[in-house]
Amino acid sequence: MCYPAGEFRVGGQDVKLGDLVVAGIQEPIGFWMSASQFEYWKHTHLTVDVVDGRGGGFSLESPEGKRFLIRSRLFTEQEWSILENQEVPTGAY
């Protein structure tokens, strides 16, 4: 789900995966997931795309005729060896 700025409350254990850079928007948009989701996905490279289609529920992009599409692949052994010991940013920082 995509929320307007200031309307998503980040929990202390939520994990920040990165920032989305969107044309026409000055500030990057944080991309977060719960700690339990992160445990499942931490070995995976995620790419967030915006495509034509019907968005989900109350997500910000719904009225625009757009939706988010997440593409995934496992990290390579080389990528994982770099990432596995890095500190993971959480909502507690």
> CB neighbours (10 Å) of residue 62?
15
Contact 16, 91 (CB under 8 A): yes
Tens-place pLDDT, residues 20-36: 887 888 888 888 999 99
Whether the CA torsion 11, 14, 18, 21 is positive or negative: it is: negative
* Local confidence band at 93 (pLDDT 50, 70, 90 cut-offs): low
Judge whether residue 65 has pLDDT over 90: no
Specify the pTM: 0.76
Contact 66, 51 (CB under 8 A): yes
